[in-house]
Homo-oligomer: A and B are copies of this chain.
Amino acid sequence: MLEDLPEGWAQLIRRAGYRLTRPRQAVLRVLAESEVALTVAEVHRRARARYPRLGLVTVYRTLDLLLNLGLVHRLPGEVGGQLYVRADLHPHGHLLICRSCHRAVEIPCTGLEEMTHEVERQTGFAVQGHWLELFGLCPACQEGTDG
C-alpha cells in the first residue's frame, strides 16, 4: 500500500510527527504518480478515485504539509489556481512548464549560484532563494492544433 510512494516519503512524514492517514495517502499517491504539475482541483479529482470521501480541504492541508516538508514545489502560477509537483523530480526549482498540458521538466541550470553571489555583491540584498521558470509548449502539444 505504501510501497509505491517515492523514497522515504512515508518515513519523512511519520518522523515529522504526522499520521499517515488514508486521505493523505490518496493525495500523496496522486502527486507521486504525476510528472505533470497539478492544480488543487485536479489533485482532488484524482485522489477521489482512491478515496471517494476525500474533502477538498484535506487536499489543501496535505499539499501544505508536503510543501513544508519540501516534498513538493508550488509553482507561482497565473491567477486562478496554483500548481503543485513532486519536488524530487525538480530539486532546484528550475522548471520548464508546458502552458498547454502543464508538463514540467527540470532545467539543467548552470551558473545560477554564481550569478546569485554576483547579484548579492552588486545590490547588497541577502538572497534567500530563487525561482526560474521557462514556459512554452512541449513537443506533444506543439503537434496539437491549439496555440
| Chain A residues packing against B (C-beta within 8 Å) | 76-79, 82, 96, 98-99, 105, 107-111, 115-116, 118-119, 122-139, 142
Across the two chains, which residue of chain B brings its CB closest to A106? Answer: B123
Q: Which of A76, A116, A125 has the most CB of B within 10 A?
A: A125
- Quick one: copies of this chain in the complex? 2
CB-CB nearest 7 A-B residue pairs: A124-B139, A127-B136, A76-B76, A128-B136, A130-B134, A131-B133, A126-B137
Instruction: State in angstroms the CA–CA spacing of A128 and B142 once bound together.
Output: 12
What residues of B have a CB within 8 angstroms of the CB of A124 in the complex? 138-139
Q: A128 — which chain B residues lie within 8 A by C-beta?
A: 99, 135-137
In the docked arrangement, what's the CA distance between A139 and B131, Å? 21
Asked if residues B105 and A123 are in contact (CB atoms below 8 Å), the reply is: yes
